[in-house]
Amino acid sequence: MASPQQITNAFQQAMNLSGSPHEVSMSPTQSYMSQYSSLKPAKALKPFSTGDIKILLLENVNTTAINIFKTQGYQVEFYKSSLPEDELIEKIKDVHAIGIRSKTKLSEKILRHAKNLVVVGCFCIGTNQVDLDFAAKSGIAVFNSPFSNSRSVAELVIAEIITLARQLGDRSIEMHTGTWNKVSSKCWEIRGKTLGIVGYGHIGSQLSVLAEAMGMNVIYHDILSIMALGNSKQVTTLDDLLSQADFVSLHVPATSETKNLLSAPQFAAMKDGAYVINASRGTVVDIGALVQAMKAGKIAGAALDVYPNEPAKNGEDLFNDSLNSWASELCSLRNVILSPHIGGSTEEAQSAIGIEVATALTKYINEGNSQGAVNFPEVALRPLDLDQQNTVRVLYVHHNVPGVLKTVNNILSNHNIEKQFTDSQGDIAYLMADIADVDLSDIKTLYEQLEQTPYKIGTRLLY
């Protein structure tokens, strides 16, 4: 039991809200509860029958993640770039976890070779580079970072709005070539203009607050009814937004419904001289139609950070017509800002993403906690205490069919089940249970019996 002084110290620390830019912020209540709960040390669990945990990190995942994994004693293999498919297939065979960003594609073909893989960490917002359905059916949980780079993307969009309104990109290119072209024609202040945000999630809502602080009127459209921040207003349809907005900024995921969300009909519905910003996914804008709308003078400017096909590595002459057929034509247009998918590429965002995703992976590996998984039932149990020495945590992923729980509980029935939680998502179900009064021979028997059940996908025991 914590002493009064310990509780007081924890509360005082929680109320100290100052911190470095690299820290993940919590509310005072969250911080207090987090520190109070940590006063009673949790038991460190180790895996049965999987050996040392091996982690493969690709695409220059931030050092904050590497440090977290190494602190846990995991074996970490790190690469600054993505790997060719054949090399990735070879590397993924033995690892228990893999961390990627947006360039690595984890297809069914690749995942079929991952015999020990239990978890994937996408150190970014998007997860469309992973075959989520096949991963779930293989018992592989996938985590991402839905929060940590929101501010970075929102700030980039604000910068692009101002740059487009003032034609700064063109003036900068002209100055770099020695041309002095001081003009004010069709250059605007953004104060009083209307920003239309498509997708009012983590990024869209932050953008809303920043834009309103700069004097813009903000409207937004989302498939859900979401409470407005500040004086922003939700509009019912996309057409309502397009007809009113001077600037349209897209913040939606890549789905079949959002593919070519903005195409020729939508550009025609926009105000004459409007601007388009896309920092979401490359498939959301029909860029060929955008090029034609700009050539016709309908759209006054555009800022694109994402593209349907993107180079797999950095280098010269990689963004070309062989990659995207309209590339050279797009590059020839005036008042177009093109950036290489850098919306979340700030030191602060990458540090926070490293902490967020690495922590989620560590909790799943060490505790079985799947909260925050994008393709998996979200299940968690409170940590075991240090005095629970003869307790094993059962983590059992199975097909969601009748009779499985009866079979599993029959196997566990000879032991005291201290706590148990199960949930399902589609065809996949996940059970966690803490079983008391067991020894190593009991653990071995439990593992073998669970592995032999007919609807088993994956079994892990932690003790």
Residues taking part in catalysis: 281, 310, 341
Position 39 scores a pLDDT of 52
Look up residue 301 and give its two tokens.
């400017």
> N- to C-terminal Cα distance for the chain?
24
Instruction: Please give the chain's pLDDT, 463 residues, in tens.
Output: 344 344 334 334 433 333 333 343 444 334 433 444 445 677 777 676 556 899 999 999 999 999 999 999 999 999 999 999 999 999 999 999 999 998 999 999 999 999 999 999 999 988 999 999 999 999 999 999 998 999 999 999 999 999 999 999 999 999 999 999 999 999 999 999 999 999 999 999 999 999 999 999 999 999 999 999 999 999 999 999 999 999 999 999 999 999 999 999 999 999 999 999 999 999 999 999 999 999 999 999 999 999 999 998 889 999 999 999 999 999 999 999 999 999 999 999 999 999 999 999 999 999 999 999 999 999 999 988 777 778 999 999 999 999 999 999 999 998 999 999 999 999 999 999 999 989 989 999 999 999 999 999 999 999 8
Count Cβ atoms below 10 Å from residue 460 Cβ, excluding itself. Answer: 22
Position 432 scores a pLDDT of 97
> pTM for the whole thing?
0.80
Do 151-338 and 392-462 come out as alike in CATH topology?
no
Three-state DSSP class for residue 350: helix
Q: What is the largest CA-CA distance in the chain?
A: 85
Identify the DSSP state of 10: H
- Separation of alpha carbons 56 and 267, rounded Å: 44
Position 384 scores a pLDDT of 84
Three-state DSSP class for residue 66: helix
Closest residue by Cα to residue 248 from 289, 297, 285: 285
Count Cβ atoms below 10 Å from residue 427 Cβ, excluding itself. Answer: 12
For 41-147+347-367, which CATH class? alpha beta
Q: Which residues of 56-89 are buried (b: 16+ CB within 10 A; e: fewer)?
A: bbbbebbebbbebbeebebebeebeebbeeeebb
Q: Do residues 10 and 39 touch, judged by C-beta distance below 8 A? A: yes
What angle, rounded to 10 degrees, do the helices at 440-451 and 404-412 form? 160
Q: Under 8 Å CB-to-CB from 190, ≥6 apart: which residues?
A: 161, 162, 165, 211, 214, 215, 216, 247
Instruction: Specify whether the backbone of 183 is left (phi greater than 0), alpha (psi in -120 to 50) or beta.
Output: beta
Any alpha helices (H) in 321-414, and if so which ranges? 327-331, 347-367, 404-412
Topology of domain 392-462 in CATH is Alpha-Beta Plaits (3.30.70)
> What are the φ/ψ torsions at residue 46 (nearest 5 degrees)?
-130, 150
Position 40 scores a pLDDT of 61
Closest residue by Cα to residue 26 from 10, 2, 42: 10
In a 10 Å sphere around its CB, with 0-12 CB exposed, 13-18 middle and 19+ buried, how is residue 228 labelled?
middle
Closest residue by Cα to residue 128 from 226, 237, 24, 258: 258
- Separation of alpha carbons 298 and 122, rounded Å: 38
Identify the DSSP state of 195: E
- Separation of alpha carbons 416 and 413, rounded Å: 7
Position 336 scores a pLDDT of 98
CA R_g for the chain: 26
Closest residue by Cα to residue 118 from 385, 372, 459, 463: 459
**Given CA atoms 284, 287, 288, 291 in this order, what sign does their dihedral have?**
positive
Identify the DSSP state of 186: T
Residue type, 444: K
Q: Which CATH architecture has domain 151-338?
A: 3-Layer(aba) Sandwich (3.40)
Domains of the chain, residue spans: 41-147+347-367, 151-338, 392-462
Q: How many CA atoms lie within 13 A of 410 on its CB side?
A: 7
- Separation of alpha carbons 46 and 44, rounded Å: 7
